[in-house]
Amino acid sequence: MNSDLTHVQQRLLDRVVRELGQLAGVDAVALGGSYARGRARPDSDLDVGIFYSEKTPFDVDGLRRIAEILNDSPRPVVTSFYEWGRWVNGGAWLTVEGQRIDLLYRSVEHVERAIADAEAGAYEVDYWQQPPYGFFSGTYLGEISICVPLLDPKERLKPLKERVAVYPEPLRRSIVRDALWRVAFGLRAFAPKFAAAEDVYGTTGCLARFAAQLVMTPFAQQRAQARPLLGQVPRAACARSAPESHRGSRPSAACLDELARARTRPRGRDRREASVEVHAAAAEGRTRPRSRVG
């Protein structure tokens, strides 16, 4: 088991797993999050994934009864399926003997679809799932890669782990190509207009979006399994999986100059002109993105 866990945490985790193992429809249980990655802090939650089949899901009311038994106080938060969205599709917030434990639902079939898409070079970013940058479907691959199986009688996790053991090359190519295309298009078609109009909201929104897109590229280039976009931008400069040239780097002079020139450009420059420029660049080696942004 994970060496970062204290004896108390291990005992609590064993207790949770025993209770979940009695609930029909629970195919597997796994430890995820910072403890699975080996980056837990003393105040970190225990993230526990509950894997189920869409054909025979577990009974949420049954999980609520288990949560009532485990939780320190009455009426813990336990959601129905997909109450939190398509990707973080439900769960429970528990506090057991003072330890915060998050239960997170994961459909095995949904994970399999995300892996198949990644193997084909396709992915989604669900903007509305969570702030600040949405949910990247490739995150599922990272979750499966690092998770520590705690209960898996049907061996549902083993084949999934085998499939994500090697970073899909089509996914790597798509992420790098799409990020560069989108940032180039945004710098020409959108950001200069916001900057020229002194629209702080629009300008900072563009910059945050560009940062999130560009941060994905060094991880993809190094074939480091995806993690949630949450927190990746500030981590990118010091991440071990980022190339040495990216650690602690500042925005390029070309990028800064592009925005600085925005105030001197005619405001009538429309995005069709920008689209022509970007598509010309695409003809030289890049193609339109294969991803879906929701």
pLDDT in tens, 190-207: 999 999 999 999 999 999
Would the pLDDT of 225 be above 90?
no
Residue 227, pLDDT score: 52
Q: Is residue 224 included in any domain, yes or no?
A: yes
**Given this model, what pLDDT does residue 231 score?**
41
Rounded CA-CA distance 229/206 in Å is 16
Residues 144 and 28 reside in one and the same domain: yes
Per residue in 184-193, pLDDT (tens digit) is: 999 999 999 9
Looking at the fold, whether 29 and 156 belong to one and the same domain comes out as yes
Q: Is pLDDT larger for residue 132 or for residue 31?
A: 31
109 plus 144 within the same structural domain: yes
CB proximity list for 244: less than 8 A, separation 6 or greater: none
pLDDT band, residue 217 (cuts 50/70/90) = confident
Confidence check: pLDDT of 228 > 90: no
Q: Is the pLDDT of residue 241 over 60?
A: no
Q: 183 and 258: one domain?
A: yes
Tokens of residue 102, six digits? 């998050």
- Chain-wide mean pLDDT for the chain? 83
Give the Cα separation of 244 and 238 in Å (integer): 9
Place of tokens 């002079």: 253
CA distances from 202 to 125, 139, 193, 197, 265 (A): 20, 27, 9, 9, 17
Structural domain count, the chain = 2
One domain, residues 37 and 113: yes
Residue 42 has pLDDT above 90, yes or no: no
Torsion of CA 10, 230, 131, 53, to 10 degrees: -50
Residues 85 and 112 in one domain: yes
Q: Which of 253, 255, 218, 254 is nearest to 235 (CA)?
A: 218
Q: In terms of residue numbers, what domain contains 252?
A: 169-293
Q: Of 159, 114, 162, give the one whose Cα is nearest residue 136.
A: 114
CATH number at 97 reads 3.30.460.10
List helix spans (H) across the chain: 7-21, 33-37, 60-70, 108-119, 139-146, 157-163, 169-189, 191-196, 200-221, 232-235, 253-260, 271-283
- Whether 176 has a pLDDT exceeding 80, the answer reads yes
**Token representation of residue 127:** 């903007």
Q: Of 68, 90, 87, 94, give the one whose Cα is nearest residue 79.
A: 90
- DSSP secondary structure, 86-100, as one string: SSS--EEEEEETTEE
Residue among 260, 255, 33, 229 nearest 139 (CA): 229
Cβ atoms of residues 57 and 81 within 8 Å:
yes
Same domain, 84 and 141: yes
Same domain, 225 and 195: yes
Q: Are residues 154 and 23 in the same domain?
A: yes
Which pLDDT value is given to residue 105? Answer: 98
pLDDT digits (tens, 9 = 90+) for 269-282: 444 444 444 444 44
Ranking 93-107, 165-179, 276-290 by mean pLDDT, the lowest is: 276-290
Task: Return the pLDDT at 293.
Answer: 62
Instruction: Tell me, yes or no, whether 127 lies in a domain.
Output: no
What share of the chain in percent tops pLDDT 70?
Answer: 75
